[in-house]
Structure 1
Amino acid sequence: MRPALLLLALAACYSPTPEGVCTVACTTACPGELVCGGDGLCRATDDLDCVLRAEAGVDVGSPDAPRVQFGLVTRVDAISSGDTDDDPTVSPNGLEMYFNSVRTGSASGDIYRSTRPAPGQLWSTPLLVSALNSAAYENTPRLSFDGLVMHIGVADEILMSTRQLVSSTAWTTPMPVGALSSMEPDAEASMTRDQLSIYFASNRSGNYDIYVATRESPGSDWGPVTAVPGLNSAFDDESPFTTDGLTMYFSSRRTHTLASSNLWMATRPTVTDAFGPAVPLDELNTDGAEEDPWLSEDGSTIWFASSRLTSFDIFTATR
């Protein structure tokens, strides 16, 4: 934040050509040679070719089939402070969470870390991550999918830090990512799994929209920044999360009847296409604000921030 289970037969398949990318909603298992990706969709292992057999019970002719919905929403009580807690990001193994908090002990708003011994276990008491914090307001931490790179928002600018091991808290001093900067607030930057695309929110157009930059290889410089086609509205669109650039989870104020932001999802066949119409994640949304979606590696768990109780807290749901 800035300063119910469906069968595999209920599939979503996008095929720009007979040999194109084809996806099927999943939880943990997929038909044939497909694998369940971090975005909750079955995909071919090369993500380029997909053949879905009829005996698998998959309706390949139904691009508008229902998605797999999330179940009961619960607050992550172990890390709740009673003050603002938001911007969750979770490591690939699901054992480490970073988030923003203004709890007692923070300078103004800082990055905290909590761990757990195994998925499904309780999170530990959060600790301040000194290496990532300063006297300024730190927010929107976003881990890379290998757990070694962190992007954070500081003073309306995107900074980056790295570490050598996923078990380490020895993060380097965060440094500005100049290629993403503008004269307006920029934040909430997260990379795709291959680290070749980075999506973030920026106010450079006059309201918050979602932008993307790409590069040739991990570690190389980011190219030009462009608005993500088909995704943005006339209202604030923020908090992008995607593993592959094909399925996007984000927050938006686009529904005029909503007083605050809610969670949405949009998909597209390839990264060169515009996103299709966004759909609200109604099972997660309330009359309060919902922001900062983050999904587990297998796509079965989502964490997000919501003000549905009083101040912002971190909530979770599974599917």
Structure 2
Amino acid sequence: MNVQARLFTTVCLLVIMLFGTAQGQWSDPEAVTQINSSYIDKSPFLSFDGLTMYFSRQSGPGWYYTRIYQATRPVPNGPFQSVSEITTLNYNGGHVDSPWVSPDNRRMYYFRTEPGSLSRIKLSTRSAVTDDWPEGRNIEELNVLGRLASPTLTSDELTIVFSGSGLAGGAGGHDLWMATRVARTSTFGPAINLTGLNTASAEYHPSLSGDGLRLYFISNRNGLFQILEAQRPALGVPFGNPVAMTEFEVPEAVLDYPFITPDYSALYFTRDYGQGRDIYVSTNLVDPNVDPDAVAGDYYVNVATGSDFNSGMTPTNPFATIQRGLNAAQNGQVVVVAEGTYVGTGNKNLNFSGRSVTLVSRGGARATIIDCQGSDQAFVFQNGESQNTVVDGFTMTHGNSQTGGGIYCQASSPRIANCIISNNQGYYSGGIYCINFGSPTFVNCQVVDNSGTLGGGVRFAQSDGALINCLIAGNVSQNPG
């Protein structure tokens, strides 16, 4: 891609980011008739495999409180055939609502109202997908804030967005809040108010895309209840100005409960025509593999949709492995890697072969993981790479090599930015090992929880690399280093 073409693409992307989703992108909404009842059906969540719709139902036969249900189907995109209440989660003392289920179908986040005007986010965990859902435990570090509802997470479960009612520091009666954590088993850090999205009106019922780059929610800031979409180019930066999705509005119905599928292929929401809410679905008419926020590249890699026999030159015809993209790229070119976990041959011991190539993830380090699965290392730089060789936005984990579990750099000076090097092992260093007069630069990186014999996190031997705004923590070395 030449400079003029890349500049034109960048301008187009900025226009999309400023003005939002193009009208005509979505099909006419259709009611999900296999699920909808004569009662109030709401809070849809489609499982990552597309086979189970989790949702809530209120004011059913003989009871008032909201309860969580599930509907199943044998194939994705087919009709739902079986609807059942998840009785092990529900109780008669309050509402049980807003399910969000992990990609492996073993963890459900939801909220429950309890006596004393409490509304708490809970996490139910089951050992196998065939087990019943047990009653969830409170996520205490969040619930101490006050009345919380509607949890929604990134696919790696490291970022959570939820709505809060009357919380200190809020802009209105109902606000959107976000918290993050470094690992799925860790506690969430302090919640922040999404001040760029909240108003003195009400913002609630969020749905966060799996990559964390888009947020859909309800707001009545314009005098009616609308579905708003906010986007951001990368994790860790604020969302841009939200845009109303007016194509779903009809004067006789009230919109609520948006949910975006992980692959952006469909948007679910509810309409209330005055006789109870029903769940609707609209299909994305634009290829969901073409992300308008994606970095412009010369080659593309996607573990979910790619093949190393593809050309790799468009987001819809990507390679499957990262090394295939690096092999194709020439000096000055960019390889863009889609979100996902990259394992096995072609996704470790990655080598630029001395070329000045930029390797960048589309969704950031938390969404783009190089998992070495207990052997070898993520990257090897040993062919005189310079600062024009760039790695940006990856997690490198579970490496195990004598010369550094995450990165080995010999007489080379690449630039590594916005990366997480964690849970690696090695002899000379667990995370990063640089030798023989190289000068690599690390910017905005985290080197955490690595272990080694002579070095835990980072070891420079006859090298003078730079660490700029990096976090080095929790690393263990058997000997000083």
**C-alpha separation between the residues in 2 aligned to 1:122 and 1:238?**
29
Superposed, 1:283-302 pairs within 5 Å as: 283-287=247-251, 288-302=253-267
The amino acid that maps onto 1:100 is: S
SS at match of 1:85: strand
Aligned to 1:168: 130
Counterpart contact for 1:152–1:188, Cα < 8 Å = yes
**C-alpha separation between the residues in 1 aligned to 2:151 and 2:256?**
14
Moved more, 205-214 or 80-89: 205-214
Aligned to 1:73: 29
**C-alpha separation between the residues in 2 aligned to 1:199 and 1:316?**
22
**Scaled by the length of structure 2, what TM-score is found?**
0.52
Counterpart contact for 1:129–1:169, Cα < 8 Å = no
**C-alpha separation between the residues in 2 aligned to 1:52 and 1:222?**
43
Q: After TM superposition, which residue ranges in structure 1, 4 or more long, deviate above 6 angstroms?
A: 51-56
**C-alpha separation between the residues in 1 aligned to 2:107 and 2:232?**
27
**C-alpha separation between the residues in 2 aligned to 1:297 and 1:134?**
30
SS at match of 2:199: coil
The alpha carbon displacement at 1:95 in A equals 0.8
Structure 2 alignment gaps of length 5 or more: 114-118, 285-481
**C-alpha separation between the residues in 1 aligned to 2:235 and 2:193?**
13
Moved more, 285-294 or 295-304: 285-294
Aligned to 1:139: 97
Aligned to 2:365: none
Aligned to 1:35: none
Q: Deviations over 1:286-306 (max 9, x none)?
A: 333222221223211111122
**C-alpha separation between the residues in 1 aligned to 2:138 and 2:37?**
29
The alpha carbon displacement at 1:309 in A equals 5.7
The alpha carbon displacement at 1:244 in A equals 2.7
Aligned to 1:89: 45
SS at match of 1:92: coil
Counterpart contact for 1:231–1:274, Cα < 8 Å = no
- 2:236 corresponds to 1:278: no
The amino acid that maps onto 1:241 is: S
Aligned residues: 265
Aligned to 2:199: 233
**C-alpha separation between the residues in 2 aligned to 1:229 and 1:111?**
31
Aligned to 1:61: 11
Report the aligned-residue RMSD.
Answer: 2.4
SS at match of 1:77: coil
- 2:109 corresponds to 1:158: no
Moved more, 137-146 or 109-118: 137-146
Cα pair distance change 1:52/1:226, threshold 3 Å = farther
The amino acid that maps onto 2:283 is: T
The alpha carbon displacement at 1:238 in A equals 1.0
Aligned to 2:186: 220
SS at match of 1:235: coil
The alpha carbon displacement at 1:274 in A equals 2.4
The amino acid that maps onto 1:245 is: G
- 2:215 corresponds to 1:248: yes
**C-alpha separation between the residues in 1 aligned to 2:141 and 2:269?**
28
**Scaled by the length of structure 1, what TM-score is found?**
0.76
SS at match of 2:262: coil
Counterpart contact for 1:74–1:317, Cα < 8 Å = yes
Q: Deviations over 1:131-173 (max 9, x none)?
A: 21111221111222343221111112111112233x4352122
The amino acid that maps onto 1:117 is: P
The alpha carbon displacement at 1:200 in A equals 0.3
SS at match of 2:10: coil
50, 72, 75: which one aligns with 1:115: 72
SS at match of 1:180: helix
Cα pair distance change 1:169/1:113, threshold 3 Å = farther
269, 282, 304: which one aligns with 1:317: 282
Cα pair distance change 1:280/1:146, threshold 3 Å = farther
The amino acid that maps onto 1:60 is: T
The alpha carbon displacement at 1:282 in A equals 1.1
Cα pair distance change 1:53/1:143, threshold 3 Å = farther
Structure 1 alignment gaps of length 5 or more: 1-50
Cα pair distance change 1:64/1:128, threshold 3 Å = same
SS at match of 2:189: coil
Cα pair distance change 1:182/1:59, threshold 3 Å = same
**C-alpha separation between the residues in 1 aligned to 2:130 and 2:89?**
13
**C-alpha separation between the residues in 2 aligned to 1:195 and 1:84?**
29
Counterpart contact for 2:121–2:149, Cα < 8 Å = yes
Aligned to 1:198: 160
SS at match of 1:131: coil
The amino acid that maps onto 1:157 is: R
Aligned to 1:23: none
SS at match of 1:104: coil
